[in-house]
Amino acid sequence: MNAAQPPEHRQGSEPGRHNLDPHLDRYAARTAGMTASEIRALFAVASRPEVVSLAGGMPNLAALPLDSLSGQMAELIAEDGLVALQYGSAHGVPTLREQICDVMAMEGITGHPDDVVVTVGSQMGLDMVTRLFCDPGDVVIAEGPSYVGALGSFAAYQAKVVHVAMDDDGLVPETLRAALAHAKSQGKRVKFLYTIPNFHNPAGVTLAVERRAEILEICRENDVLVVEDNPYGLLGFDGQTYPALRSMDPDNVVYLGSFSKTFASGLRVGWVLAPHAVREKLVLAAESATLCPPTLNQLVVSRYLATHDWKGQVKTFRENYRERRDAMLSALEQHLPAGCTWTRPDGGFYVWVTVPEGVDTKAMLARAVTARVAYASGTGFYADGFGSRQMRLSYCYPTPERIREGVRRLAGVLESEMDLMRTFGSGTTRAVSGPQFPGPDTA
Amino acid sequence: MNAAQPPEHRQGSEPGRHNLDPHLDRYAARTAGMTASEIRALFAVASRPEVVSLAGGMPNLAALPLDSLSGQMAELIAEDGLVALQYGSAHGVPTLREQICDVMAMEGITGHPDDVVVTVGSQMGLDMVTRLFCDPGDVVIAEGPSYVGALGSFAAYQAKVVHVAMDDDGLVPETLRAALAHAKSQGKRVKFLYTIPNFHNPAGVTLAVERRAEILEICRENDVLVVEDNPYGLLGFDGQTYPALRSMDPDNVVYLGSFSKTFASGLRVGWVLAPHAVREKLVLAAESATLCPPTLNQLVVSRYLATHDWKGQVKTFRENYRERRDAMLSALEQHLPAGCTWTRPDGGFYVWVTVPEGVDTKAMLARAVTARVAYASGTGFYADGFGSRQMRLSYCYPTPERIREGVRRLAGVLESEMDLMRTFGSGTTRAVSGPQFPGPDTA
């Protein structure tokens, strides 16, 4: 469930234009939290072919068997077109919901197809879960940094995000405990913990298995629901999987899954597995949001799962991503100036880099794009302005050669930035007293 | 943009079960407004083949050229699969947005592709517009009756719906004026008028052209936005079209369009055409809701528009629906007991029937299903409990023979109901002092 945040060409969106908006007084209060991500302004430039983009989260689809998919799509329409092109239920196609249960079983989850709700990507699942649970001012606890699309949904429902720190073993249980105690002492209502346990976006770390029960226990003790977002779980580079939080506490975990990383993101097929009573409400919420997910797309996924060696395909994806991860890590080792640190992911799409104090990744981004490399600056992954010493580098999409070239360019930009700092002091870039990696901002 | 509300088989959803929901105290306030429609409880029965369903809004797709669509789908994946299966922008595919402008031009709209946002069906457009404009307690004015899916979205954002009356020429301007004055006198904030000017769902009437400028003027005077929902505009049975409200007041109308009725509902491709500043916010809202609409579906529609005689196909749809409309109107004339009245649509999918006083269409529905005919009772189309003397009959999906048989069965059920009333008084069915057709409930 990850943000590709793909190129947008908005010729008309000059800053300041909103002053001319005749509808300005009409908007709902929640629109105040709707802001464009920093990278968006640079997309028109960053998406030029000469720029190496380490910014997006687009999966590498080149390995997909397009020929056989093409034939299958033709068959689907010829044989079952009147169903594929017709409305379906907001709940989702029953056969697909059964298959989804088989997919989840690979991570230890026992779920009933009735409790699966198919969504338009798991972004929609996230939006629906927030719709169900969050009144304005309610608190959502999330790792710091966290998935930018989740922060967008939380903002749309005016929930307040409190970040909790991670280390190389993922979410640190003590910081969760502290954040919950703090919220309680302030009379805040914490609705759920939003967590990405496996191959975290953007942090690239995985929640240690021995921490999982503890985190679930903390949430139970504090009467806080867990929302587990797991788009990358099958993309462990050694084929390893981890027990899903949902498998360890079915009644207190809402699980979000996606075919965007294991099959094809452009189909927008994700799902929610929820405790029974929550599932009933989810279907009603989904109905008011999109009436039903596209039937065609659900049948495409269902046929693909039934007729292709989809697990073999996931293995191919994994191998591609491992190769790219290796290319990125060795390039970082080789090129990045002293003082930079980064995570070493065992799966997924992302490396999280911390740069030396005084360098502001947000301010540096425009200069990086000029040097023909793009990344996602860290501030976008925090609801509270932290992250200016961090950046997310994606290795999922470019070739290993392009990744190496991109990191080389990025290292050059960082070197110049640090040279400037040494010459003129850190005032040339905004000094920020934010958290060290990965950010202990539990307040 | 219409509710098919298709069959759901929810074995586990007994009423009362919610008392056992351990998450009950966690839900957001807005979930109080999320309730299942009446027909849903009967779907398992109503969707049996022996039942003639006049309840749903599923388009009749049998006329679609499946063979050529099948070939086209295969080509699309073979030639352009890496784009079709990849993330796109939340704004939508540029070529499709251009084509959408050509479609809208058929109803007099001059729009710029930049100001079009592609949505997952126009239900999502409606949801996004409500998200942008409605704080809890804000008022939305809508025709009474109105589209059930719109009422669901308004409820999800805790907007209060005030209905205004229609007659055979659609929304009555005086009732709109009165409703606005009343809201003002009560200090309520009216955010927009939601209207379906053409071949109204569920009322089956069309807003007279001479009323359109007046309604736009009333809204302007009162500083109220207009949300124009037009899924059926090209389905006028004589090929007639009407000037879109958007074409007459581009700066104060947000327009919702859909390919669900003119091509295929299962693709879930709709759009919003919005004033420029609103469009920018819509894209951000859409990004937090689904990240992006499915690329595959957008490219399928785009190819179809570019390579098929899609206008010829719309003509075929129109002719099919006209034949069915004729079958329904003549069967109503022939079979329905005295005291029933109904609208005579010139396009679209629906006839709105008013039954004699004392008959409660909601209470009667279970008996109708037992008699193997289903309809949508009127109360679902009002936010305020009115409509119990009304029902919506859809002629879009069944064959003319089935429609005639369905109306014959329905007439039998109505006769029995009225017999009971004559024998035992109207107390046997709930007497309701609701509005006459189409409902002057402007309060």
| Contact with chain B for residue A283, Cβ under 8 A | yes
User: Is 90 exceeded by the pLDDT of residue A7?
Assistant: no
- Chain A neighbors of B11, CB-CB under 8 A: 114
Predicted complex ipTM: 0.92
| Contact with chain B for residue A82, Cβ under 8 A | yes
Residue pLDDT, tens place only, A227-267: 999 999 999 999 999 999 999 999 999 999 999 999 999 99
**Distance separating alpha carbons of residues A178 and A141, to the nearest angstrom:** 11
Which pLDDT value is given to residue A341?
98
- Chain A neighbors of B124, CB-CB under 8 A: 289-290
b/e code B265-289 from CB counts within 10 Å (16+ = b): bbbbbbbbbbbbbbbbbbbbbbbbb
Residue pLDDT, tens place only, B275-322: 998 999 999 999 999 999 999 999 999 999 999 999 999 999 999 999
Question: Do the Cβ atoms of A156 and B277 come within 8 Å?
Answer: no
Average pLDDT over residues A64-88: 96
Nearest CA in chain A to B224: A26
Question: Hey, which residues 1-30 in chain B have their CB within 8 Å of chain A?
Answer: 3-13, 17-18, 20-24, 26-30
- Minimal Cα–Cα distance from B61 to chain A, Å? 6
Task: List, for chain B, all residue ranges whose pLDDT scores fall below the cut of 50.
Answer: 1-18, 428-443
Which pLDDT value is given to residue A6?
37
% of chain B with per-residue pLDDT over 70: 90
Q: List, edge to edge, every strand of the sheet that includes B170-171.
A: B116-120, B269-273, B253-258, B225-229, B190-195, B139-144, B160-167, B170-171
Which pLDDT value is given to residue A21?
86
Residue pLDDT, tens place only, A94-127: 999 999 999 999 999 999 999 999 999 999 999 9
Residue pLDDT, tens place only, B127-176: 999 999 999 999 999 999 999 999 999 999 999 999 999 999 999 999 99
Nearest to A78 among B13, B67, B149 (CB): B67
Nearest to A87 among B6, B71, B157 (CB): B6
Walk me through the domains of chain B, giving residue ranges and CATH numbers. 38-62+312-423 (3.90.1150.10), 86-307 (3.40.640.10)
**Distance separating alpha carbons of residues A267 and A263, to the nearest angstrom:** 9
Which pLDDT value is given to residue B33?
82
Question: Do the Cβ atoms of A275 and B23 come within 8 Å?
Answer: yes
Question: Do the Cβ atoms of A132 and B28 come within 8 Å?
Answer: yes
**Cα–Cα separations (whole angstroms), residue A180 to A133, A218, B23, B255:** 17, 9, 18, 45
Question: Do the Cβ atoms of A34 and B288 come within 8 Å?
Answer: yes
Angle at A43 between CA A38 and CA A44, to 5 degrees: 140
Question: Do the Cβ atoms of A296 and B296 come within 8 Å?
Answer: yes
- Minimal Cα–Cα distance from A374 to chain B, Å? 18
Question: Hey, which residues 316-345 in chain A have their CB within 8 Å of chain B?
Answer: none
- Chain A neighbors of B191, CB-CB under 8 A: 26
- Chain A neighbors of B147, CB-CB under 8 A: none
Question: Do the Cβ atoms of A114 and B268 come within 8 Å?
Answer: no
| Contact with chain A for residue B440, Cβ under 8 A | no
What is the DSSP code string of B392-406?
EEE-SSS-HHHHHHH
**Cα–Cα separations (whole angstroms), residue B85 to A70, A179, B17, B71:** 12, 40, 41, 17
| Contact with chain B for residue A120, Cβ under 8 A | yes
Substitution target in A133, A201, A288 with the highest count of B β-carbons within 10 Å is A288
| Contact with chain B for residue A98, Cβ under 8 A | no
The neighbour count for residue B125, using CB atoms within 10 Å, is 30
Question: Do the Cβ atoms of A267 and B58 come within 8 Å?
Answer: no
**Distance separating alpha carbons of residues A34 and A156, to the nearest angstrom:** 7
User: Is 80 exceeded by the pLDDT of residue A44?
Assistant: no
Half-sphere exposure of A328 (CA within 13 A, CB side): 31
CB pairs below 8 Å between A and B: how many? 301
Question: Hey, which residues 33-72 in chain A have their CB within 8 Å of chain B?
Answer: 34-36, 58-59, 61-62, 64, 66-67, 69-71
